[in-house]
Chain A
Amino acid sequence: MLKINNLHASVEGKAILKGINLEVKAGEVHAIMGPNGSGKSTLAAVIAGKEEYEVEEGEILLEEENIDELGPDERAHKGVFLSFQYPVEIPGVSVTNFMKTAINETRKAKGLEDMPANEMLKMIREKSELLEIDRKFLSRSINEGFSGGEKKRNEIFQMAMLEPKLAILDETDSGLDIDALRIVANGVNKLKSKDNAVIVITHYQRLLDHIIPDFVHVLHDGKIVKSGDKELAHELEAKGYDWIKEEVNA
């Protein structure tokens, strides 16, 4: 599904990713953990195609195709989805119209006709129920005046609507109370299949109690310094990140 080889990336001349290697296969859930400033969000943004980041070296392959030169919209058309750590407020554009436009533009890119209106409505109804989202909420401007939990639920709602192959959840657990966390995790689990893959980026282990990872990677100073199974997440929760840093420096 996704293969990252020796990825170096910088922003405004400052190197942030310093040689990432990662392979994610269809059907897998990978967790990327690490202390603040280790490059987790940068990795997510670089995969999604944020243009401020400069890829200096290495490559990102999605289903064996190099996606380095593609814009964020073209990557989305190929099935990449990023759930934002800080979803952007866009006054004046409703969630429903946003999703309609996003789905139909994606279909257009694939040479398909617009989705019929009734099919779209049915899909919106089903997916909003999955995320326990009030319908009224969908006619509001994107993220405007949404609580932290509402924003994150709205991100996963969008993921459900767009049905990506590769979903990257960037700190989706931050700002969530336990109920919202359960709803979000439940949504992600229902969307998981043998044909798609999920990368969960998190600072804490608690989301991983709900979305069980197959692999856990620790990012430190722009490199993956340790990989393991879900037990590694528990170990990090218990011991913090300092021992990793020491191990690396030793």
Chain B
Amino acid sequence: MELKEKLVSSFMAFEDTVDVHSPIHDIRTEAIKTFETEGFPTKRQEAWKYTSLNSVLKHDYSVFPKQENEIEFKDVKKYFIHDIDAYKIIFIDGKYASHLSQTTHDGIDVCLMSSALSKPKYRLIIENYFNKIASKDGLSSLNTAFSAEGAYIHIPKNKLVQKPIQIIHFSTGNEAALMLQPRNLVVVDENSHVQIIERHQSLTDNPVLTNSVTEIFTNKRAIVDYYKIQNDRESASLIDNTFVNQKQESLAKVHTFSFGGKLIRNNLNFYQNGERIDSTMKGITIIGNKQHVDHNTLVHHIEPNCESHQDYKGIFDDSSTGVFNGKVVVEKEAQKTNAFQANNNILISDKASINTKPQLEIFADDVKCSHGCTIGQLDESAMFYLRSRGIPEKEARALLMFAFSNNVLDSVKIPEVKNRITKIIANKLGVNIGFDL
């Protein structure tokens, strides 16, 4: 049976496992119909021209993991940013792992989507925010139809959340192939500030496909700092659908670090509903072998005096392929918009490729919009210079790659996260040198 048919026919069984009287029952039912109509995207669609899902859709994924798995903290500690005090929302094969987690209801809600969907006290937030900005395309609808678990974060107004929140989805490989549909909701009220770190990690080489949806709402003057660490095994693939809805004077930053995985597609969408909003998205992609990473971004400037900043660096080795498709829409009313977009790439091997496409749709006449993309090779004269000082080829190459991506790394505000990313990069490049550039 094709995966699509399997998913559609599993829906009834899925609904039996969750509460059919849930406030989102109708939303789920609607969503599975949309998925049935839309299906999975194909290369015939403009937004998917350079990314084919065929190779990841061919597996016979289990949609419901049968048994619960216990994993011990010591075995997975290395995937945590464990040197800081943090709230933790941890899942194993899609199920909440309380023994690895640290949630809270003390002034803020850092807990589970499953409880938010079932308990009356969260009903108002769910009604106001759930599925309000997720797009109605096939993949997001599929996630909506099966949405049952994930992180639920609600920060009421005037709270500076002192500890970052870590969300980690582990998959154990107990199933021959597993498909996950995590669903996260982040609502940050007026004047509040929160930092979130998200990671998906497979623990074996069994295929895993994660189709995640995250909705983020930043209300007036709220600040959200979101870090996505994508360093999974090359048997795991990720489709990350993130939607950010911003109110006036809010600041939302999403950093995406893509080093691992077989195929990654990031659909990152910002909607600015208010004035003086700042939206920032930055990313570093370093991949090799036959890995594929696709960044598909959208900033929708709707009101005046707002800014957006995009800065993506990509380094592609072996037969890896990259895509950057950055769309900026500036509505007629959005005067004095300042939109900046940069995408710089280095191709290490002759077989690697990148397709980069800035897409600007500007309907206002008093705006500053800039975009630039570059594709180049490592500078051979710089290589000789570094090597002539005794730095071996591999280390010299790594140093130049670090230097290339340094300004994105520099904007990471949590030192431990920056440190971790630095280590992952050094590891990925097979070097052991300090990069305190």
List, in ascending order, chain B residues with CB within 8 A of A228's CB. none
Partner of A76, one of B389, B403, B406, B435: B389
Q: How many A-B residue pairs have CB under 8 A?
A: 86
Near A by CB (< 8 A), chain B positions 367-393 give 379, 381-382, 384-393
Partner of A73, one of B382, B393, B402, B434: B393
Given contacts A51-B384, A91-B403, contact A105 B437 (CB under 8 A): no
A97 lies within 8 A of chain B by Cβ: yes
Is A101's CB under 8 angstroms from B382's CB?
no
A67 lies within 8 A of chain B by Cβ: no
Near B by CB (< 8 A), chain A positions 62-109 give 71-73, 75-77, 81-82, 84, 87-88, 90-94, 97-106, 109
List, in ascending order, chain A residues with CB within 8 A of B385's CB. 84, 87-88, 90
Given contacts A73-B396, A90-B400, contact A105 B391 (CB under 8 A): yes
B433 lies within 8 A of chain A by Cβ: yes
Shortest distance between the CB of B232 and any CB in chain A (Å): 27
Complex CA gap A59/B404 in Å reads 38
Is B388's CB under 8 angstroms from A90's CB?
no
Given contacts A73-B391, A92-B406, contact A50 B400 (CB under 8 A): no
Is A162's CB under 8 angstroms from B389's CB?
yes
A219 lies within 8 A of chain B by Cβ: no
Is B390's CB under 8 angstroms from A105's CB?
yes
List, in ascending order, chain B residues with CB within 8 A of A87's CB. 385
B436 lies within 8 A of chain A by Cβ: yes
Shortest distance between the CB of A62 and any CB in chain B (Å): 14
List, in ascending order, chain B residues with CB within 8 A of A81's CB. 388-389
Given contacts A49-B388, A82-B388, contact A92 B404 (CB under 8 A): yes
Contact with A along B57-77 (1 / 0, CB 8 A): 000000000000000000000
List, in ascending order, chain B residues with CB within 8 A of A77's CB. 390
Is B384's CB under 8 angstroms from A50's CB?
yes
A48 lies within 8 A of chain B by Cβ: yes
List, in ascending order, chain A residues with CB within 8 A of B381's CB. 88
List, in ascending order, chain B residues with CB within 8 A of A98's CB. 386, 389, 399
Is B437's CB under 8 angstroms from A93's CB?
yes
List, in ascending order, chain A residues with CB within 8 A of B436's CB. 97
Given contacts A97-B437, A102-B390, A105-B391, contact A72 B403 (CB under 8 A): no
Partner of B389, one of A50, A102, A141: A102
List, in ascending order, chain A residues with CB within 8 A of B379's CB. 88
Is B393's CB under 8 angstroms from A71's CB?
yes
Given contacts A92-B406, A92-B437, A101-B395, contact A162 B390 (CB under 8 A): yes
Complex CA gap A3/B388 in Å reads 20
List, in ascending order, chain A residues with CB within 8 A of B435's CB. 97
List, in ascending order, chain B residues with CB within 8 A of A41's CB. none
Shortest distance between the CB of B402 and any CB in chain A (Å): 7
Is A72's CB under 8 angstroms from B387's CB?
yes
Complex CA gap A82/B392 in Å reads 16
List, in ascending order, chain B residues with CB within 8 A of A88's CB. 379, 381-382, 384-385
Near A by CB (< 8 A), chain B positions 408-437 give 433-437
Q: List 23 A-B contacts (CB under 8 A).
A: A49-B388, A73-B387, A73-B391, A73-B392, A73-B393, A75-B388, A76-B389, A76-B390, A88-B384, A91-B403, A92-B404, A93-B402, A93-B403, A97-B436, A97-B437, A98-B399, A100-B434, A101-B399, A102-B390, A102-B391, A103-B390, A105-B433, A141-B403
Binding site for B on A (CB under 8 A): 48-51, 71-73, 75-77, 81-82, 84, 87-88, 90-94, 97-106, 109, 141, 158, 162
Binding site for A on B (CB under 8 A): 379, 381-382, 384-393, 395-396, 399-400, 402-404, 406-407, 433-437
Identify the 8 closest CB pairs spanning chains A and B, nearest first: A92-B403, A76-B390, A106-B390, A102-B389, A72-B387, A88-B385, A73-B387, A92-B406
